[in-house]
Amino acid sequence: MSSVGIEFPSEMLRLKELIQQYEEIGSAGAFGKAVIEAVLMEAEAAWKSQDVVALVRAFARMRECS
């Protein structure tokens, strides 16, 4: 059984890997990288605050990134 609490850190790692992939693209990936970095910053803040509503919102946004 999975939960946001279990999957949240994995999603954060996935976003960090995506950021690296967008960096490798170069200037064409700059916008995507910036968007993903903003989502990751939101997620890190939510994780630090342990605000359940913010965690669920951030988790949903992280899942939308590709």
**Domain boundaries, given as residue ranges, for the chain:** 4-64
pLDDT at 1 over 70: no
Q: What is the pTM of this model?
A: 0.88
Determine the pLDDT at residue 6: 86
Rounded Cα distance between 16 and 31, Å, is 15
The 10s digit of each residue's pLDDT in 11-37 is 999 999 999 999 999 999 999 999 999
Structure tokens at 23: 């960096």
The 10s digit of each residue's pLDDT in 47-65 is 999 999 999 999 999 999 9
In the predicted model, what is the mean pLDDT of residues 2-10? 86
Determine the pLDDT at residue 22: 96
Q: DSSP letter string over the chain?
A: ---HHHHHHHHHHHHHHHHHHHHHH-GGGHHHHHHHHHHHHHHHHHHHHT-HHHHHHHHHHHHH--
